[in-house]
Structure 1
Amino acid sequence: MWKERKRLWCGLPWTFTVYSGDDQRLFVETGFFNKSQDECRLYRILDISVTRSFGQRLFGLGTIKLCTSDKTLGDFEIKNIKHVMAVKEELSQAVEIMRDKKRVTSREFLGHEEDEHDMYDGDYEN
């Protein structure tokens, strides 16, 4: 699906972090001598947002922030990548496809307070 190397602030790919994904998972591989790889199942991603600092915009980069229910990665960022909006859209669509395929729903109303008028069953008068 997608593969990108984390870049320095100036856009050069001289880091040892590689982000990649397939149709079911997102991978974060780090290290040079000692490598580690974390994965997050796409259906566990709850929210996706993009930030672009002034320096990132100058070099055509951006950061995708992911809020997940994954225990090992938790909330994490895909930092300093090119074509950030296209990657975000591709990732967002893949997440929705996997959530539908796995029949996963999230509770969108966490912390939702009931409106005072919703507590009454019938009509009320002032």
Structure 2
Amino acid sequence: MSENKELDVVFSERKRILFFGLPWTFTKYTITPEYITMRQGLLNTTEDDCYMYKVADVKLTTSLMERIFGLGTIICYTGDVTNPELKLIHVKHSKDIKAYLLSQSEAARLKRRTLNTVDIGAHGADMADLDHDGIPDSLE
């Protein structure tokens, strides 16, 4: 990671109002190769970061009004505790940002050698019997 996060900024967008797509809100999204940062507020500000490797999936939604004004909403499904669904609402260049997030999140996972696991719902199985012989392993 570089010393200055501003040097690595790939995308910097503002949340926009839907009418004419004007940036009259106080929410700013900054995307670097390592982080997605959402900064909200004018007087009381909140800054929330999500590591890029924690992004599991990305979805782009565009309503009719968003399409008219060239906007889109990107939903990032993450493994982050504070923001499991990180929404980048009413941003320009949404298709480019979505494509970047998908490719960069995969590259970040490979770089960190992390593995995405999925719960397949083995609710009925006895987890104490790992070798499936009918005898709980703690008793053997």
TM-score normalized with structure 1 length: 0.84
Kindly report which structure 2 residues correspond to 1:48-87, keeping only aligned pairs within 5 A, or say none.
48-87=58-97
Kindly report which structure 2 residues correspond to 1:25-40, keeping only aligned pairs within 5 A, or say none.
25-40=35-50
Question: 1:20 Cα deviation (Å)?
Answer: 0.4
Structure 1 unmatched runs, 5+: 113-126
Aligned to 2:126: none
CA distance in 1 between partners of 2:121 and 2:63 (Å): 31
Cα deviations by residue, 1:88-115 (Å, 9 ceiling, x for unpaired): 1111111111010011111257349xxx
Aligned to 1:9: 18
Aligned to 1:104: 114
CA distance in 1 between partners of 2:111 and 2:45 (Å): 32
CA distance in 1 between partners of 2:18 and 2:67 (Å): 10
Local SS of the residue matching 1:99: helix
Local SS of the residue matching 2:117: coil
CA distance in 1 between partners of 2:31 and 2:12 (Å): 6
CA distance in 2 between partners of 1:56 and 1:83 (Å): 12
Aligned to 2:28: 18
The change in CA–CA distance for 1:109 and 1:34 in structure 2 (over 3 A counts) is closer
Percent sequence identity over matched residues? Answer: 35
Q: Which has the higher strand share?
A: 1
Paired positions, count: 112
TM-score normalized with structure 2 length: 0.76
Q: Does 1:90 align with 2:83?
A: no
CA distance in 1 between partners of 2:38 and 2:69 (Å): 22
